[in-house]
Structure 1
Amino acid sequence: MITKDMLVADIVKEIPKSADIFRNNRIDFCCGGQIPLSGAVNDKSESLDTLLEEINSLQTNSAGEGLDVQYLDNASLINYIQNKYHIPLREEMKNLTPYVTKVARVHGERHPELVEIKEVFTALKNELLDHTQDEDDNVFPLVINYTHTPTEDLRSQLQPHIDELETEHENAGNALKRLRELTHDFTPPMDACGTYRLVFSRLEQLEKDTFNHVHLENNVLFKRF
């Protein structure tokens, strides 16, 4: 049974689908997830009792379903993160960029917020691509090495990387929050064309995937160290 005193990040570890409830209620479960549910309720969220009811209902309905990734060993969890998030992220950024650019160019005069959306998206894209490449090339191999040989020297090498990655995660979260503000919760205007609507829909999916991705790293993998 989920209670009001449980940390938000721990609730998502226990019931992964609760991430959708938190996201819909503007509750940060990744970078800001180290607070109790009772302290996370805000003026844009449902009441504490309603949130508890929804989350505990999820727990009942999802019993026995899916892969509980918090119990994967480090190598398996890293493999899961790379295949579930890193590879699809690179593909999505490549495919989404032309649409974001086109919409800003065609509709930016009537909707000047699209120009800032393009700027924020471009900065976020560059940071996330560099970030995931650094993880794959440097940090994850160091994690595996430390897992097999847990020396103090390797731990001292690993910790600054984790600190830097968590800071970058927070920066990405701030960029996504700005995108949500600029898009009015990813709601296109009445006169939006199909491509316009496509961009907003895929930006919303990017937010969801990135929050889930960051949660797995911050609150599951990195927390082990």
Structure 2
Amino acid sequence: MTQFTINTQVSDIVTALPQSADLFRNLRIDYCCGGKVSLKEAAEQRSLDVKEVLKDIHSIEEKRESRESLEPSEFGEKTLIAYIQEKYHAGLREELPLLAPYITKVARVHGENHPHLLRVQEIFKTLRAELLDHTNDEDTNVFPMILQFLADPTPGLKETLKPHVFELETEHDNAGRLLHELREITNNFTPPEGACGTYRLVYARLEQLEKETFEHVHLENNILFDRIRQAI
């Protein structure tokens, strides 16, 4: 059941549902310095229909909840691959471009006094490029090859598939190292005292990115790829 109403403060909505910041940003509702107002008041200030804004927030919330309600480790290989693509691959393609401008802004505004934010920006840029290349390779090449192998496990396809699985796991390890460094330099994604709303938002969404990437890698390394290794 939703926790948000027209009387919920904008800043509280963004704290509980970080992705709602994208909606507020598009609607030009200040969730940062001016976020300590009710959704109703914020909508009225922008001459918006608060019921429509609340409906959009509920849609974001429902989308997140539906992605978290399944137990994918019990899926068959074909369903598991589709689940990984829908939840994690599509999720990354949606989230990474949306998160980028917030990180750029925080690094630009606060980087002089908090120089680690410049490194956060560098790591995110690398991580974004690698994760998008990685998921594109899986969707375009490796996952179709896995499905073909499961349908017709020929010796030739078996030998072709082996190095791809190894390479993907190596890329997972590298993403894990980058995320580990992010957690280290952000003090476990804990914003400093007095940090602005955008600063807090960046840390919350980076921590969510870490959580979902670890879930993603677990499903591939320990479920899907384990099954493939047993077959090859």
> TM-score, structure 2 length as denominator?
0.68
1:76 matched to 2:79? The reply is: yes
Partner of 2:89: 86
Separation in structure 1 between the aligned mates of residue 182 and residue 134 of structure 2, nearest angstrom: 19
Which AA in structure 1 matches 2:130? E
Partner of 1:180: 183
1:14-64: CA deviations, max 9, x gaps? Answer: xxxxxxxxxxxxxxxxxxxxxxxxxxxxxxxxxxxxxxxxxxxxxxxxxxx
- State the number of aligned residues: 160
Deviation beyond 6 Å, 4+ runs, structure 1? none
Q: CA deviation at 1:73?
A: 1.7
Separation in structure 2 between the aligned mates of residue 191 and residue 184 of structure 1, nearest angstrom: 15
Separation in structure 2 between the aligned mates of residue 141 and residue 203 of structure 1, nearest angstrom: 30
Partner of 2:195: 192
Separation in structure 1 between the aligned mates of residue 142 and residue 192 of structure 2, nearest angstrom: 42
- Which residues of structure 1 form unaligned runs of 5+? 1-65
Q: CA deviation at 1:140?
A: 0.3
Spell out the pairing of 1:2-17 with structure 2 (5 A cutoff): none
1:130-188: CA deviations, max 9, x gaps? Answer: 00000000000000000100111111111111000000000000000000011000000
Which of the residues 192, 210, 214 maps onto 2:213?
Answer: 210
Partner of 1:114: 117
Separation in structure 1 between the aligned mates of residue 207 and residue 72 of structure 2, nearest angstrom: 24
Q: CA deviation at 1:70?
A: 2.4
Which AA in structure 2 matches 1:154? L
Q: SS of the counterpart of 1:118?
A: helix
Point out which structure has higher relative CO (alpha carbons under 8 A, 6+ apart).
Answer: 1
Which of the residues 155, 166, 170 maps onto 1:167?
Answer: 170
Separation in structure 2 between the aligned mates of residue 223 and residue 154 of structure 1, nearest angstrom: 17
Partner of 2:128: 125
Separation in structure 2 between the aligned mates of residue 70 and residue 113 of structure 1, nearest angstrom: 37
Partner of 2:147: 144
**If you compute each CA radius of gyration, which structure gives the higher value, 1 or 2?**
2
Separation in structure 2 between the aligned mates of residue 67 and residue 212 of structure 1, nearest angstrom: 13
Partner of 2:37: none
1:102-126: CA deviations, max 9, x gaps? Answer: 1001100000000000001110110
Partner of 1:220: 223
Partner of 1:36: none
Q: CA deviation at 1:207?
A: 0.3
Q: CA deviation at 1:68?
A: 3.4
